[in-house]
Amino acid sequence: MAASGEQTGHPCGRWALVNGRLVLPREVVVGKALVGEGDRIVGVADPDALGAEGERIDVGGRIIAPGLVDIHTHGALGHTFNEPTAEAFEAITAANAAHGVTALLATVATAPIPALVQCLEAARAWMPPLSSPPHAGGVGGGAGCAHAAPTTCCGSPLSPPIT
């Protein structure tokens, strides 16, 4: 609340979204709460473990999709997913995470097949073991891009821990 008693539009203090279907990088779960502090997501917890502190917001079975899922990104900070290096992938995903992206689909630009294969191999080597394998979509087709990574993001701080 603002000093005048008006709502600011920004959450204050600790809060939890409960009674929803929570979309996580590798699954959709029920029976968990998305926990936040101010305007930040801080984790996922069992609703019974929340205690009395903070506001519980019952979402009535709705889908909770924390953050942004970017289904088409070529890069960030001067790097692209056409660079088959861990350094490029780390810079891109860290920059996206800093702006609220919780999952992404890495997209490489059209390139010769050997270069695309290098990008896909680098994505496979860089991703955590539980991720699905990289795939190419639109190679040689109308879309003109190859999607080099699934909608997970390195098991990095993008995925809140489930407690």
Phi, psi of 94 (to 5 degrees): -65, -40
At 24, the pLDDT band (50, 70, 90 cuts) reads confident
Distance, CA of 30 to CA of 19 (rounded, Å): 7
pTM over 0.75: no
Q: What is the DSSP letter of 49?
A: G
- Predicted confidence at residue 91, as pLDDT, reads 93
Mean pLDDT of 121-136: 66
At 16, the pLDDT band (50, 70, 90 cuts) reads very high
Going by their DSSP bridges, the two strands 79-80 and 101-109 should be labelled as unpaired
Q: Quick one: which of 79, 83, 81 has its CA closest to 104?
A: 81
Structural domains of the chain, with CATH: 14-64 (2.30.40.10), 68-147 (no CATH)
Distance, CA of 29 to CA of 27 (rounded, Å): 6
Tokens 């939890």 map to which residue? 16
Distance, CA of 49 to CA of 90 (rounded, Å): 34
Beta carbons of 57 and 16 less than 8 angstroms apart:
yes
Distance, CA of 95 to CA of 105 (rounded, Å): 14
Give yes or no for residue 114 having a pLDDT over 70: yes
Tokens 């920004």 map to which residue? 10
